[in-house]
Amino acid sequence: MNFEMPNFLLALPEIFVLGMACLLLLIDLFLKDQDRHLTYLFSLFTLVLVAVLTVYGYSGERQISFNGAYVADGMSQVLKLGVYFAVFVVFVYAKDYLRDRGIFKGEFYLLGLFGMLGMMIMISAHSLLTLYLGLELLSLSMYAMVAMQRDSARASEAAMKYFVLGAIASGMLLYGMSMIYGATGTLDLSGIASQAATADKTLMAFGLVFLLVGVAFKLGAVPFHMWLPDVYEGAPTAVTLYIGSAPKIAAFALLARLLGDGLINLHDQWQGILIILAVLSMAVGNIVAIAQTNLKRMLAYSTISHAGFLLLGILTGTRSGFSSSMFYALSYVLMALGGFGMIMLISRKGFEGDKLDDFKGLNKRSPWYAFMMLILMFSMAGVPPFLGFWAKLSVLEEVVASGMIWLAVVGVVFSIIGVFYYLRIIKLMYFDEPASEEELECSADMRLMISANALMVLGIGLFPGALMAACAAAFSTT
């Protein structure tokens, strides 16, 4: 076995995050509770620095290192920056919420950073092993985060469910990987791609199904979605925000790496599976969301339906299809951040603003934030000129381009059904009488961030070209 020195410089962002997280672990030990905001600032600082490292460390071409286990390419750059941004926003939104509930501890930020490291590894993975490693690092961090509010029965229950089901899903994923390894004899994604044509068909198909079940679980696609509403509702909103945003980008990366880089030759087989998952997800997500009275739960079902849409682009198996899904994932994360952020804006000490009724008459209490929520909801519903419209449009365009018009029609029909529950929130905000007249209380950074968040949804919606071009470029080099 020849051993070559890996190019450490390539993985500098990951190494940096790991180092900083370990440093934070040490620092946090010596901090008193009233100085905890230093942890917060340190985490934000880490995120900014790693973003700088990522931008300036990238040579502009696809490079593979660590014996083919690690890849840096256009897609990994864009997705990582998306992840940093999402985690940054999560940290800012979470501060007040955690402090009000007495869980403003270093653990949240630590686990958040470790989870992010997992996502980064997933995004840059070029072998089944690295993929799995990143995925588990992310999952374990998230299980712990859900359980962070120890004395809450709901949170513990949610964490337990999440952990057990997640373990089953990981098992299936690993089983699928082992079969693919058995059929092709390699863990390297490009090796798999070149071997796939000659490998045993049945074994590959078995492996593929198990693999996709594992991925579908992480993505929350029907029928592997059942953990999602319970976990979203049970976890503290700050954690829900984390789970509901950045990992979606990582899940997209997981799919793109596995299916795009590794198993693209089996496209005929996985396309059918993804069609089933996508249609079921759009149907169940949109229809069941109508019956929800809890906003977190409603957004959980909305996530499921968006996962269905995300799959639509991928299942075309074309480069432009992948890039449209990537655009969808990034757009969705931006909207989800805002949506959960609004719940945290409404919440106060001892009050969870996660019921639909809590949004009644928001326009009377605060016209500006009602307007921000309006932007977010319209965008999620896919109303032009907001970002969500372009996301849906680009995915549907790809579906039509690959000749599956019926599937596009199904997508449109379900998203029209979905419009109902987004509009209901707007109706509650603007046409109903408020239940309480209390002023919204939150800190300036939160206010600023949520306004910026919603305005970005509008702004990118008006000028979607740049982000779309970035997504298209990410897939033109590979």
Instruction: Compose the 229-268 pattern: x for residues touching other proteins by CB under 8 A, - for all others.
Output: xx--------------------------------------
Q: Which is nearer to other proteins, 191 or 384 (CB)?
A: 384
Number of residues located near other proteins, criterion CB under 8 A: 35
Q: Considering the complex, what minimum distance in angstroms separates the CB of residue 212 from other proteins?
A: 7
User: Per rule CB under 8 A, is residue 172 in the interface with other proteins?
Assistant: yes
Which of 18, 226, 383, 440: binder of other proteins (CB under 8 A)? 226
User: Per rule CB under 8 A, is residue 208 in the interface with other proteins?
Assistant: yes
Give, as ranges, the residues between 391 and 450 that touch other proteins (CB under 8 A): 417
Instruction: Compose the 63-92 pattern: x for residues touching other proteins by CB under 8 A, - for all others.
Output: ------------------------------
Q: Considering the complex, what minimum distance in angstroms separates the CB of residue 124 from other proteins?
A: 29
Classify 294 as helix, strand or coil.
strand
Question: How many distinct helices (H) and strands (E) make up the chain?
Answer: 20, 2
Which of 273, 344, 410, 426: binder of other proteins (CB under 8 A)? 273
Q: Which range binds other proteins by CB under 8 A, 46-54, 122-130, 156-164, 339-347?
A: 156-164
Question: How many whole angstroms separate alpha carbon 475 and alpha carbon 341?
Answer: 31
Q: Considering the complex, what minimum distance in angstroms separates the CB of residue 403 from other proteins?
A: 16
Q: Which range binds other proteins by CB under 8 A, 63-71, 79-87, 182-190, 286-294?
A: 286-294
Contacts of range 70-74, beta carbons closer than 8 Å, 24 or more positions apart: 70/6, 70/10, 70/11, 70/124, 70/125, 70/126, 70/130, 71/124, 71/125, 71/126, 72/10, 72/11, 72/124, 73/474, 73/477, 73/478, 74/473, 74/474, 74/475, 74/476, 74/477, 74/478
Q: Which range binds other proteins by CB under 8 A, 54-62, 137-145, 224-232, 340-348?
A: 224-232
Which of 12, 133, 209, 440: binder of other proteins (CB under 8 A)? 209
Question: How many whole angstroms separate alpha carbon 172 and alpha carbon 185?
Answer: 19
User: Per rule CB under 8 A, is residue 202 in the interface with other proteins?
Assistant: yes
User: Per rule CB under 8 A, is residue 161 in the interface with other proteins?
Assistant: yes
| Placement of tokens 């899903």 in the chain | 169
CB 329 within 8 A of CB 252: yes
Q: Which range binds other proteins by CB under 8 A, 124-132, 245-253, 282-290, 310-318?
A: 282-290
Q: Which range binds other proteins by CB under 8 A, 118-126, 145-153, 161-169, 316-324?
A: 161-169
Give, as ranges, the residues between 287 and 316 that touch other proteins (CB under 8 A): 287-288, 290-291
Q: Which is nearer to other proteins, 93 or 224 (CB)?
A: 224
Q: Considering the complex, what minimum distance in angstroms separates the CB of residue 228 from other proteins?
A: 10
User: Per rule CB under 8 A, is residue 475 in the interface with other proteins?
Assistant: no
CB 246 within 8 A of CB 464: no
Residue 173, C-beta contacts closer than 8 angstroms, at least 6 positions apart? 132, 135, 210, 211, 213, 214, 215, 217
Which of 27, 140, 165, 383: binder of other proteins (CB under 8 A)? 165
Question: How many whole angstroms separate alpha carbon 306 and alpha carbon 392?
Answer: 9
**What DSSP line would sit under 11-40, residue for residue?**
GHHHHHHHHHHHHHHHHHHT--GGGTHHHH
Output the six-digit token pair for 156. Answer: 């513990």
User: Per rule CB under 8 A, is residue 275 in the interface with other proteins?
Assistant: no
| 76 residue type, one letter | S
User: Per rule CB under 8 A, is residue 107 in the interface with other proteins?
Assistant: no
Q: Which is nearer to other proteins, 19 or 465 (CB)?
A: 465
Q: Considering the complex, what minimum distance in angstroms separates the CB of residue 131 from other proteins?
A: 20
Residue 227, C-beta contacts closer than 8 angstroms, at least 6 positions apart? 161, 162, 165, 166, 217, 220
Q: Which is nearer to other proteins, 227 or 378 (CB)?
A: 227
Question: How many whole angstroms separate alpha carbon 131 and alpha carbon 123?
Answer: 8
CB 31 within 8 A of CB 106: yes
| 120 residue type, one letter | M
Positive or negative, the CA dihedral 162, 167, 168, 174 is: positive
| Placement of tokens 């795009």 in the chain | 260
| 110 residue type, one letter | L
Positions touching other proteins (CB under 8 A) are: 160-161, 164-165, 168-169, 172, 202, 205-206, 208-210, 212-213, 216-217, 223-224, 226-227, 229-230, 269, 272-273, 276, 284, 287-288, 290-291, 417, 464-465
